[in-house]
Chain A
Amino acid sequence: MKEPTSSLIRSVTNLDYDSIKKREEAPFEYWGPTPYEARKAAVAKKKGLHDKRTTLKEAVAKYIKDGINLGVGGFVNTRVPVAIIHEIIRKGAKDLTLSMQSNSICTELLAGAMILNPDHVSIKRVELAWWGYEVIGIAPLFRYLVTKGMIELDDYTNYGMSARFKAGAMGIPFIPTRDHGGSDMELVNRGKMIECPFTNENVYLVPACYPDVGIVHVPVADMYGNSRIFGALCTCPEIAQAANHCIVTTEQIIPSESIRQYPNLTEIPYAVVDALVEQPFGSYPGACYGYYWFDMPEFLQFRSICDEFRKTGEKGKLQEFYDKYIFGCETFDDFLATRPYKKIKELRLGDKVQPIITT
């Protein structure tokens, strides 16, 4: 039998033999819809322009189910879909697979909910590139869950995850990339080294990622869901188009005439959006270009509550945070109402009014 194609990683890896063998022997499976299932889901949708506006409660109740692959948009602290995450935690969802490139507070919030009550929210596995807070520090709950062996991981690079969503958005089963090969990710993730049929050189294939539900927050959209993004696109257009269903929150609904005036500015077309919710400050405490900068003290405070739990095992303060700010709130607006106007004003000024086009 022909040896499988690979780099020379085995001659240098320090990974334990069992981890490598486990991955080698596991048959490949998509951790969400297959390309065929994803195609069926898209075909089944009504393609007319319809008013997609709804509430977060309705959108989450309709699309978020146990066992789904949830594609989380944004990037670390930027344009992260925090309002949707709050609603998912209120509703509850078990055995989630999370897919993302890099995230911080959204996935920490889900992890905290799992630690407090795994019968209400639980994460089964995560396909990711990065989970942390950058300048603020490591993500304590991620470290807790992983070192305790409580969640399964599949590690890629930020490009790898982005390319996987892109492959999903393109409707293809995999995409070749020039990274992962020669690193330990080659041994443990679900990608595969092959010999390119055209160059006869090694090239690394990563499987497409099709989330069941993509969640993204955008600066502006019209009522049909056509979305315009300013600042970093992150991987939001790809996640939205790869997902079987997509929930979009937006800072502001703008007239459809504006969308038709500048169609080049549309990053997510209406057809892939299933539910649209106007939710100002929907990324708070994250940042949204053109609207507000991120709230550093809020990040620090939530992170310190989580870190205290990681170090002491005491759940009291964590429970208090969730009881007060998530379960104690009917809507995300109720949560925002707990933050003083002065703070909101400061964050608006912190963005320094980056220029955006809304008309």
Chain B
Amino acid sequence: MPEYGPFEMIAYTGSRVLEDDTIVFVGTGLPIIASMHAQLTHAPNLNLIFEAGSLAAILEQGMPLSVGDTRAFRKAVFAKGLCGVFELTQRGYSDYAFIGGAQIDMYGNVGSTIEGGTYSAPNVRFPGSGGAGAMAANCEKTIAIMALEKRRFTQKVDFITSIGFGDGSPDYRKKAGVMGSGPYRVITNQALFGFDEKTRRMMLLEVIPGKTAKDIQELVSFELLISPDLKEMKEPSEADLKLLREECDPDGYFLKRKVK
């Protein structure tokens, strides 16, 4: 197998998760790269929403560096503002939310507001919800990209920014007044997770070749469910890596970053 970096594995896995003939609402960085790769391979009719207001842009000027980048509006079929695309989403036209975050719990609740301390004087303050909270609420399925670390896969998220299955009760999302069906996949460079339909808890679906479910459990603070049909993660081929490196992120803004 060819050599690949952790972010290349995340982008490739993100691409695999996206189906053709759908709309994906993307956050900055790896979600854009994953979606571009999917468009170039198995999902030519996958269309992107950028939250500053575009639908189905053609990314012929290169990867947008921001979801408000002028490049994210190139040859779009629809260019409005935040209200325009979030209203489409709330109405039911966004199949996937593709977000990131600082912390996640077993029910897929994601934190990207604070870490430690109190709300008014936190130890660390992150930028805030941005689009993530609204995407996780109202896109149909939520895909989250996370770094696989114990402090990030945590028992309790310090501030729930993006709703998952809450406390796991069957009617949590209904009582919250949100419309999407909720967490769908969590992507890391060493494991792909889904959620158990019955308990709504995070379930290990795939592990990177050479690792075991036990290795992954050691990087997670809560108890994982393990899929009875546990698989190996598919690795990117030479052709996939060429697309990622030359077409999707040629300047290496996201793919060449070092893992902290």
A interface residue numbers (CB < 8 A to B): 7-9, 11-16, 18-19, 22, 74-79, 101-102, 128-132, 134-135, 138-139, 142-143, 146-149, 152-153, 155-160, 162-163, 166, 177-186, 188, 193, 201-204, 230-238, 287-290, 293-294, 296, 351-352, 354
Contact = CB atoms under 8 A, between A and B. Distances in A.
A111 to B, nearest CB: 12
Nearest to A160: B134
12 contacts: A14-B160, A78-B52, A132-B127, A142-B127, A158-B129, A162-B86, A178-B179, A179-B133, A179-B138, A232-B52, A233-B53, A287-B69
Nearest to A187: B119
Contacts of A185: 129, 133, 161
Nearest to B162: A183
Given A143-B125, A147-B122, A149-B120, A134 B67 contact: yes
Contacts of A293: 70
A134 B68 CA distance: 10
B80 interface: yes
Interface of A is mostly: mixed
Interface string B52-66: 111000000100011
B86 A158 contact: yes
Nearest to B121: A149
Contacts of B65: 134-135, 294, 296
A114 B256 CA distance: 36
B172 interface: yes
B5 interface: no
A351 B130 CA distance: 25
Nearest to A292: B70
B176 interface: yes
A170 to B, nearest CB: 11
Closest 6 CB pairs of A and B: A182-B176, A233-B81, A132-B127, A232-B52, A130-B130, A78-B68
Interface string B136-166: 0110000000000000000011111111001
A326 B107 CA distance: 48
A9 B166 contact: yes
Given A7-B166, A78-B66, A185-B133, 4 more contacts: A77-B68, A181-B175, A182-B172, A232-B52
Contacts of B22: none
B83 A163 contact: yes
A235 B160 contact: no
B166 A182 contact: yes
Interface residues of B, number: 71
Contacts of A162: 81-83, 86
A133 B175 CA distance: 34
B245 interface: no
B41 interface: no
B118 A101 contact: no
Contacts of B163: 179, 181-183
A15 B119 contact: yes
Given A78-B66, A135-B253, A232 B73 contact: yes
A232 B127 contact: no
Contacts of A102: 68, 127, 130
A163 B86 CA distance: 9
Contacts of A296: 65
Contacts of A129: 128-131, 133
A18 B119 CA distance: 9
B236 interface: no
B118 A232 contact: no
Nearest to B70: A289
Contact of B166 (A11, A134, A135, A138): A11
Contacts of B29: 134-135
Contacts of A75: 52, 67-68, 82
Nearest to A194: B177
A230 B81 CA distance: 10
Given A181-B177, A231-B73, A12 B160 contact: yes
Given A135-B65, A182-B163, A201 B177 contact: yes
B159 A101 contact: no
Nearest to A23: B119
A287 B253 CA distance: 19
Contacts of A148: 121
B113 to A, nearest CB: 6
B73 A354 contact: yes
Nearest to A176: B177
B133 A235 contact: no
A19 B119 contact: yes
Contacts of B158: 14
A287 B166 CA distance: 38
A287 B68 CA distance: 9
A287 B157 CA distance: 35
Nearest to B74: A354
Given A8-B167, A159-B131, A201 B81 contact: no
A184 B161 contact: yes
Given A157-B131, A178-B177, A19 B86 contact: no
